[in-house]
Amino acid sequence: MKFKTLVSGALLGAIMSTTAFHGAFAADDTIKVGVLHSLSGTMAISETTLKDAMLMLIDEQNKKGGVLGKKLEPVVVDPASDWPLFAEKARELIEKDKVSAVFGCWTSVSRKSVLPVFKELDSILFYPVQFEGEESERNVFYTGAAPNQQAIPAVDYLMKNEGVQRWVLEGTDYVYPRTTNKILEAYLKSKGVKDEDIIINYTPFGFSDWQTEVSKIKAFGAAGKKTAVVSTINGDANVPFYKELGNQGVKAEDIPVVAFSVGEEELAGVDTKPLVGHLAAWNYFQSVDTPANAAFIKEWHAYTKNDKRVTNDPMEAAYIGFNMWVKAVEKAGTTDPDKVIDALVGVSVPNLSGGYATMMPNHYITKPVLIGEVQENGQFDIVSQTPEVVGKEWSDYLPDSKDLISDWRMPMNCGNFNVSTGKCGGKGS
């Protein structure tokens, strides 16, 4: 039988209670946890906050008694926005430091760089950032959004609520924007959008000379049809991009921009007044009004000793992934990677927007989709929110992917099972 959607209902439910150990830690026995985020280079603007968030989560867990009666010990390394260095640092964390799991990476190119290391050494990576999908690995747990949990709902919102007919797909030149835009282009065409109403452009990491590119966007939007920019620009290139939009008077009511890699942290370095009304699609915003989020923000401000530090979507994804790992380790009674990997499927933990995140058999999680409008204070007014959506690992809109599914439980135990041929394409993605 041909099918694609993994059913979430049977796995969604109330979180199982776990009794925390409040006794003394073992004298010289700790559980090491790897933190693999760029603290320098072009991605430091985004990744440094995730390092701080992980240290906070580990600190709070230690206050609760650690895990299995042992203190958690963070091991922080700086891959410095250097993609090959990510693999080197990952190997160092696993082989030298003997970490039980790693929380890290931001860009897809950094994740692709470390994948062979985690497979070879049979360790666990929690990846907390939205990405292009088209991958399902046994050793990776994806807590950021897949395209069906961010990119496609954002396009649907613009079509329905803004009447957009022309599309600028603007991205940084690497795998996440290119693959996401390939999916979006196919999706837009399936909705009847013509070739001449789509333009796609890529610029390097750290790109700063946006005058010509923004002029092209303005010209493309002057054809009489409602135009929007779908932005997969990543890292510190966002600051001059948004500044140039303001310089050239590109307003949200004329050409709205919806961003997939711009959150509260990135807006902290931008004059937001000209950007009011532009959009971002995430699965969490700091402005989410729930008791859980209020407590998380309070904890963040207390930990950083700075009530101006913002929270953002990848932080929530890190929070979810960390809590899932803790619960799975306690469920398995060990940090042995094989047992923890098996224990993680089906684990549910609270998210920060009032629902639950569940780890599905494809190693993706359930997430609500939120659309937010930029406000003058650098926060987002949430204009749309869906119920929890199950992340799809393989796109329905790409010929090579439409017949593939993933299920890491026995007996399938496969990341790319072809439902047409009935065969697994391999034990990786």
In one-letter notation, the amino acid at residue 130 is Q
Q: Which domains does the chain have, with CATH numbers?
A: 30-145+290-366+389-424 (3.40.50.2300), 148-282 (3.40.50.2300)
- For residue 428, the model assigns a pLDDT of 53
- pLDDT classification of 272: cutoffs 50, 70, 90: confident
Q: Reduced to 3 states, what is the DSSP secondary structure of residue 367?
A: strand
The pLDDT tens digits for 200-209 are 999 999 999 9
- Is it the case that residue 269 has pLDDT exceeding 80? no
**Which pLDDT tens digit goes with each residue over 216-258?**
999 999 999 999 999 999 888 888 998 899 899 999 999 999 9
Over residues 129-147, the mean pLDDT reads 97
99 close to 33: Cβ distance less than 8 angstroms: yes
Burial class (CB in 10 A: 0-12, 13-18, 19+), 411: exposed
* Helix, strand, coil tally for the chain in percent (to 5): 35, 20, 45
More confident residue, 276 or 274: 276
Q: Is 427's pLDDT higher than 70?
A: no
* pLDDT reported for residue 57: 98
Q: Express each pLDDT in 300-358 by its tens digit.
A: 999 999 999 999 999 999 999 999 999 999 999 999 999 999 999 999 999 999 999 99
Exposure of 62 in the CB half-sphere (CA atoms within 13 A): 16
**pLDDT for res 24:** 44
pLDDT at 390: 98
- pLDDT given for residue 18 in this prediction: 35
Element (H, E) at 357: strand 356-358
DSSP state of 412: T
308 phi/psi in degrees, rounded to 5: -100, -10
Burial class for 270, CB neighbours closer than 10 Å (0-12, 13-18, 19+) = buried
Q: Which stretch of DSSP H or E encloses residue 244?
A: helix 238-247
Whether residue 23 has pLDDT greater than 60? no
Picking from 289, 282, 255, the residue whose alpha carbon sits closest to that of residue 267 is: 282
Residue 345: predicted pLDDT: 98
CA 324 → CA 48, 161, 192, 285, distances in Å?
22, 36, 41, 20
Residue 236 corresponds to which amino acid?
Answer: D
Higher per-residue confidence, 328 vs 427: 328
User: Quick one: pLDDT at residue 93?
Assistant: 98
Q: How far apart are the C-alpha atoms of 364 and 129, rounded to whole Å?
A: 12
**114-127 mean pLDDT:** 98
Task: Please list, residue by residue across 74-107, b when 16 or more beta carbons sit within 10 angstroms of its beta carbon and e when fewer do.
Answer: bbebbbebbbebbbebbbbbbeeeebbbbbbbbb
Question: pLDDT-based confidence at 197, cuts 50/70/90?
Answer: very high
pLDDT in tens, 365-393: 999 999 999 999 999 999 999 999 999 99
Provide the phi-psi class of 229: left if phi over 0, else alpha when psi is between -120 and 50, else beta: beta
What token pair was written down for 429? 């993605």
Give the mean model confidence (pLDDT) for residues 131-137.
97
The one-letter amino acid at 77? V
Read off the pLDDT of residues 66-101 as tens digits, 9 standing for 90 and up: 999 999 999 999 999 999 999 999 999 999 999 999
Res. 11: pLDDT tops 80? no
Written as six digits, the tokens of 355 are 């629902």
